[in-house]
Structure 1
């Protein structure tokens, strides 16, 4: 089926053709008729499946042209990066339409955003907190909003935005269409849908937490953060293979640490985004990566959702996410639009339980690769690793009746040979399970 078979208006069809889109994805095809009917909808689809266009195309057809000064449609997303991306998608689709889209998000001048909203807007794209800030300042009027999209609902729940979402729904007109999109259908998302959707139609195009089909997944067993950085240096030196790489960390500290340690080798090829970076810095870093000026993008999990960058060859999980679902969202940054990609995870002994949860979630074992021969394995534990290791050893000592001397010895006795033995032990265990 092509987009022309969905009875999309001529202006949007022209914009899609000009942008190189030929056929709708399954979620776009399934959502279109439900959205046009005006019914509430729950869309469950993994990252990279085209959820943004799935809701934007029918929404823009309903808006049709610029009208009045107050918003008639609202899209709520969890991060400023997603606000920017949705607005970019609107700009692409409305090349031949007169639709005013304004994006509002925290971390930047609220007065400038309020002025844009006051001048007139048809489609408002917002993070929950900034929406409520501008609403309480008397700038946003909601009486004409007839279509509401809550995108990345699971992420919104994870980030604690439920109070703000409740506030938004309380000020919306009673009669409106709500479309909720999520990569997973957690208990929190289900509760949200029960509270704010009326007899929704559920569209699900992929099993929950299904990894991207064309992603090859591998892991290295690495003893500590310093060795992980050494491993990055070895892998990224192969520029022919690692052409466009996203490196994910769970902490801002590790993201900065990676950039600092790699800057001597590839300073001009590095970008970094996380919540402590200024908004312009983050957007410039993302732009440089999208346009190929930067080969390597280092990101905390704030960037794991929704960022649509084409032709990412590798995703590297520098550290393992505490929520197994985040792994799926991370690796969804590669192998987009049917292309192939590679996901590599660096797993320390501290993170072994987390990775076991991931393998249980995706229902498969991830192949363990041998560490490169020229890799320098460090025995240095950074302060945060010492705390984590001490906690693990302490728990083991309590279970086994070991004293403080044995705990200290266990903490400091990790060697390269221990790492090799651990790798072999885990492989043999997996073979036995099979």
Structure 2
């Protein structure tokens, strides 16, 4: 065991560490702090929950105690992948730098940009930020990165997962080449290796433990259920959360939508639970985390945005509602418990659809979790029951089960319905006068209900009164003279030119078609009933 007093930290920093109750450094802290104090680059590889935040916060405070911050030119830069992790780094800095005159600002999305800009204008020693908000403010001209002396990248593999590597490369190029870099990651995929080769100068590689290994202080369990039905999974989860030894816990889901559903289900059944994921408002996310840290909230239902880097010392249990898509995420999830030498328990609900994802997890951790059987739950009955509590399909399965047979038959439209269907008496038929062939109304097919025999086609005949009205209308139309052509409107400027062009077009137009008697076939030659069709209804 290495004491903090043996690492070369200043008396002020040692006093701040002692005030927190820590006296012994973790392996990553004991190896990284002396190298960082010497001004060398550090490549730290360690599993989550091993104290990486203090491994770079403590030497950063000591290195910056001499010097003065200038407006819009931070002296140190700490990049974190998520807002929650950045906020946690800020809390750690406030805890360990309380005996110094150093100041800092937290740049994350979801909060007022005006307050952040005002703090930058006053001058800050340490800038703690997420990549997106940092680049946004830089491109607005609110800061310069030419004065950065020390740069920290935390949870680099998480940056890769979230697509931040191009942003990280851009930020690296905006900082001075002579800066000192402290680079921390739980795993080292090829893209991260390329990044460290490009931007770190002869770093000291510190590997506190094998990557992606789960802590021995965590007891892991597998809970197998015979169905993938979401209602059965939520029933199993409630049985686990309701165990007597559960002081508090974090429930992890793969999808944000599932987070809300599971949290609502737990609350409905009397558990003190709240959701947290990337789509929630930042102020609500921070309040939920604060309540969970203080003990005011017992169960936190989270997506993987909360799986990495959150330092909540006293989490007794972790529940994997879904088997993680990526095996690394499982390690980071259960790393929320069993921290700082304390004991913890992790449960993973496994369905028949999770076999492939489970195999990847077991190959990575190289352990066989203990099988736990939930007694007293009839999963077959749960599977067969109608799903009314907001399952994955949002209740649509129950609607599909009812089918179309229970729906009332659609009433026929008014214009297609027979008089009997509308509750009317059929009109007495009047003997129609003979109609010319071209005036006869076409036969119509009456619409029928689905499955019924179609009605017989019957011609719709017009009453004599209707024929008389039509004849009068045709005669009136024929007596109406066509309207005189309207003179073209002269517009200002180009009106005369347009008239000339119109005259030219008329002169060049082909001769109008003529009728059989040789006269032009104009509007006067078209019968009125052809120019304005009349609909005859029975």
Counterpart among 262, 269, 272 of residue 265 in structure 1? 269
Q: What is the TM-score when the length of structure 2 is the normalising length?
A: 0.69
TM-score (norm 1): 0.85
Aligned pairs (5 A) from 1:11-50: 11-50=12-51
Q: How far 1:236 moved relative to its partner?
A: 2.1
Please, which runs of 5 or more residues in structure 1 have no aligned partner? 387-434
Cα distance in 2, alignment partners of residues 67 and 90 from structure 1: 17
Whole-angstrom CA distance in 1 between matches of 2:375 and 2:257: 26
Structure 2 residue 176 is matched with structure 1 residue 176: no
Matches within 5 A, 1:161-310: 161-222=164-225, 223-224=227-228, 225-238=230-243, 240-266=244-270, 269-310=272-313
Change in CA separation of 1:164 and 1:384 when aligned onto 2, cut-off 3 Å: farther
Q: 1:143 aligns with which of 141, 146, 149?
A: 146
Closer, same or farther: CA 66–298 of 1 in aligned 2, 3 Å:
farther
Q: 1:177 to 1:375 in 2, by over 3 A?
A: farther
Higher helix share: 1
The separation in 2 between residues aligned to 1:207 and 1:96, in whole angstroms, is 36
Deviation string, structure 1 residues 153-185 (Cα, Å, up to 9, x no partner): 000000000111111011101211111101111
Q: Does 1:159 align with 2:159?
A: no
Aligned counterparts of 2:181 and 2:62: Cα–Cα separation in 1: 16
In the other structure, the counterpart of 1:60 is 61
Decide whether the 8 Å contact of 2:8 with 2:34 is kept in 1: no
- Equivalent of residue 342 in structure 2, options 321, 339, 343: 339
Of residues 322, 327, 336, the one that matches 2:325 is 322
| Off by >6 Å, runs of 4+ in structure 1 | none
Structure 1 residue 233: Cα displacement: 1.7
* Pairwise CA distance, 1:384: 6.4
- State whether structure 2 residue 380 is matched by structure 1 residue 379: no
Q: 1:375 to 1:107 in 2, by over 3 A?
A: farther
Which residue is equivalent to 2:460?
none
Higher relative contact order (CA 8 A, sep 6+): 1
The answer to whether the 8 A contact 1:255-1:300 is kept is yes
Residue 266 of structure 1 aligns to a residue whose secondary structure is: coil
Q: CA deviation at 1:336?
A: 0.3
Q: Distance in 1 between matches of 2:176 and 2:393?
A: 49
Question: Of 73, 76, 88, which residue of structure 1 is paired with 2:91?
Answer: 88
Determine if contact 1:66/1:100 at 8 Å carries over to the other structure: no
**2:166, 2:378 → 1: CA distance?**
48
Does structure 1 retain, via aligned residues, the 8 Å contact 2:110–2:283?
no
CA contact (8 A) 1:73 1:123 kept: yes
How many positions carry a matched residue from both structures?
384
Deviations 1:97-156 (A, max 9, x none): 111111101222222222222221100011111110011111121121111111000000
Which secondary structure state, in structure 1, belongs to the residue aligned with residue 269 of structure 2?
helix
Question: Is the partner of 1:257 in helix, strand or coil?
Answer: helix
Asked if 2 retains the 8 angstrom alpha-carbon contact of 1:315 and 1:333, the reply is yes
Structure 1 108/366 Cα, relative in aligned 2: closer, same or farther at 3 Å? same
Partner of 2:10: 9
SS at match of 1:309: coil
Q: Distance in 2 between matches of 1:183 and 1:353?
A: 23
- Kept after mapping to 2: 8 A contact 1:234/1:375: no
Distance between the aligned counterparts of 1:195 and 1:320, measured in 2? 35
SS at match of 1:87: helix
Q: Report the Cα distance in structure 1 between the residues aligned to 2:102 and 2:217, rounded to whole angstroms.
A: 36
* Deviation (angstroms), 1:32: 1.2
| CA distance in 2 between partners of 1:372 and 1:304 (Å) | 30
Q: Secondary structure at the match of 1:149?
A: strand
Say which one has the larger Rg: 2
1:266 is displaced (CA, Å) by 3.1
